[in-house]
Amino acid sequence: MVATHAVITIPAVSGVQRDAVKFDFAFANPTGSLATNLPQLFSHINPTWSTSISAFFSPTLAHAAAGCLIQLYDITGHLDGSATGKPPYEQDTFTLPGGGGSPLPSELSVVLSYHADYTGIPEHLPGERPRARYRGRLYLGPMATSALDSDSVSHRPRVAQNVRETIAAGAIYLSTLEPTWAVWSRKDGQLRHITQGSVDDAWDIQRRRGEDPVTRTFWNAGFP
């Protein structure tokens, strides 16, 4: 196996290409079949809640059989981010299970943060942030209303606890199947194994998933 950039594409039920969502991963010389292991992030069942991540995805995403695409690219010699100039060395499909409920706005995301071991690495140096090369994020979404919760006192909208714990369980399972899951720093051309991460209860925004208006309601101010 080789150093790999994996791209997952989940299509939308609209069939419009720009409505599909993509997730990027990096693996340092994977030890197993990524076509088998990588989808487990989305389908692994958290035994505490009996759910998988995909159960909270918006119904605007397609859950058709073999509807999701996995593309694997050999990035050996391209860790600086330069184009490989080659098609995927492997391509496969998988089924996104679960789904349903009512959709939240498409740009709302749940953030899965992860990082490599950065013990002794400073956050700031003059003109740079070295620790930034050791961490990454996945913006999971669009999500359904089943992922939404609110604080009982302040009524602050937040990501539900069962959603956060289910996402964390999926990440742990993937890192167990593929301990080669890595943070890819193009700045210094390194793949660093992921050691831990977190899932915030605050919603994040992925602006490129924002939708264009379909209609517009006009109003006019009254004049004497």
Domain chopping of the chain, boundaries: 4-209
Check whether 99 has a pLDDT greater than 80. no
* Per-residue tokens: 174: 């993937």
Look at residue 89 in the predicted model and tell me its pLDDT.
94
Look at residue 149 in the predicted model and tell me its pLDDT.
94
Residues 6+ apart with CB under 8 A from 148: 104, 157, 158, 159, 160
Assign 94 a pLDDT band (cuts: 50, 70, 90).
very high
Look at residue 223 in the predicted model and tell me its pLDDT.
67
Check whether 81 has a pLDDT greater than 80. yes
DSSP states along 81-123: S----S--SEEEEE------S-BPPTTEEEEEEEEE--TT--S
| pTM > 0.75 | yes
* Per-residue tokens: 19: 């409505």
